[in-house]
Amino acid sequence: MTHSGKRSRIAGLGINLPSKILTNAQLEKMVDTSDEWILTRTGIRERRIADDGETASTLAIPAAQEALRRAGVAPEDLDLIVCATSTPDMSFPSTACHIQRGIGAKGCPAFDILAACSGFVYGLSVVDNFIRAGSAKNALLVASEIFSRIVDWEDRNTCVLFGDGAAAVVIKATESSSHVIDSRIRADGSYADLLTGGGGSASIVSAKQFDPKSHFIKMKGNQTFKVAVTNMAEVCSSLLADNGYTANDVALVIPHQANIRIIHAVAKSLNIPEDKMYINVHRYGNTSAATVPIAMYEAQEEGRLKKGDLVLLVAFGGGLTWGSALVRW
Ligand code: ACO
């Protein structure tokens, strides 16, 4: 690898959200819950649910195509494709390879990242390191999740929280002042049992012992909440300090959208006003790895990301994993 001195610029964004909406009122008819409980405990009003035929890659492809179009990059010019997902089409080929075929790219490396809800921030860090090393110039980073397939629709503790969605960014090597300044990604596997999704080699799939719930999400929500707030705030503080910034310098925080109370608690801990925290959890719930890029897309569309702004991304998820990235827009 050669050091290019290049940095990563987010050159184009795209999203794709299923059209089917599942409201809290509809959930009231499915499990013992209420609109009032969901809204006050999570901030969520509704979420999107993918159609039966949809997969992580088919959901991702229109988002990737929009990001490429907006960046002015042709699929054949991509030299890296990374997909963050915990709900891949299948164990292999990777969802990134399915996306590569779907958008008509060829030859470049394509692989998935599994870091649950932190997947996009993990992916951004990986892509940024490829670009800094001079190993990529035009990269596609996608986050695509269909959590409705791994949610237990009889478990009110989890089914009200999640939704489906995809987003993509094209990242170009640049010498411009608009670039990813730095990132930090972290994990602590000793907390693995707080939040799990099945479907892997630990799930029983033999006909004799088939457990129809083995691939469902299981979460100790209350404990996860506390670790999430502490670690999200800590990783943001150290990333800002290591780069010579304070919370006052940040124009907008784009946090993982799991729970509005987590977002408010992180703001309080960082001493950042709540109006600098971008929030769209009420519309989509927790779309896992896709929340941060969907929020980034919507923030840009709403004119909340201006050239020169210091933007802080932060995420947290199963693993446990967490991470943060600092971007000069
Ligand atoms: N409707 C009504 N009541 C409910 C519901 C529901 N949908 N869900 C739980 N309850 C009940 C519980 O049974 C409990 O009742 P009890 O007191 O009689 O036992 C009560 O509400 C309180 O439960 P808590 O778990 O203490 O509620 P809390 O305020 O912690 O909120 C929540 C739960 C929303 C899950 C919250 O803990 C949370 O957001 N946790 C973090 C989630 C997260 O960030 N995950 C990481 C990313 S996800 C990923 O990586 C895949």
**Top-confidence residue, 58 or 221:** 58
Query: The domain 7-175: what is its CATH number?
Result: 3.40.47.10
97 is catalytic: no
Q: Specify the CATH number for 181-328; select among 3.10.150.10, 2.30.30.100, 3.40.47.10, 3.30.365.10.
A: 3.40.47.10
- Per-residue pLDDT, 16: 98
- Per-residue pLDDT, 323: 98
- Per-residue pLDDT, 203: 75
Q: Which ligand 1 atom sits nearest the alpha carbon of residue 217?
A: 51
Q: Which ligand 1 atom sits nearest the alpha carbon of residue 317?
A: 50
Q: Per-residue DSSP letters for 311-325?
A: EEEEEEETTTEEEEE
Mean pLDDT of the chain: 95
Instruction: Assess contact for 139 and 78: CB atoms under 8 A.
Output: yes
Residue 211 has pLDDT above 70, yes or no: yes
Q: 80-107, pLDDT tens digit by residue?
A: 999 999 999 999 999 999 999 999 999 9
Which of these ranges, 3-17, 114-128, 148-162, 256-270, has the smallest mean pLDDT? 3-17
Model confidence band, residue 2 (pLDDT cutoffs 50, 70, 90): very low
Ligand 1 cavity residues, CB under 6 Å? 33, 37-38, 41-42, 116-117, 156-157, 160, 195, 221-222, 224-225, 228, 258-259, 262, 286, 288, 316-318
For the segment 56-72, the average pLDDT, to the nearest whole number, is 98
- Per-residue pLDDT, 205: 64
Q: 229-269, pLDDT tens digit by residue?
A: 999 999 999 999 999 999 999 999 999 999 999 999 999 99
The rounded Å distance from CA 161 to ligand 1 centre is: 9
The tokens describing 210, both together, are 């088939």
Q: At what angle do helices 260-270 and 221-242 cross, to 10 degrees?
A: 40
Residue from 117, 179, 259, 280 carrying the catalytic annotation: 117
CATH 3.40.47.10 placement within the chain: 7-175, 181-328
pLDDT more than 90, % of the chain: 90
Q: 100-146, pLDDT tens digit by residue?
A: 999 999 999 999 999 999 999 999 999 999 999 999 999 999 999 99
Q: Which residue's CA is minimally distant from atom 15 of ligand 1?
A: 157
Residue 182 has pLDDT above 80, yes or no: yes
Q: Is 248 exposed, middle or buried (0-12, 13-18, 19+ CB in 10 A)?
A: exposed
The tokens describing 64, both together, are 């990737």
- Per-residue pLDDT, 1: 43
- Per-residue pLDDT, 206: 63
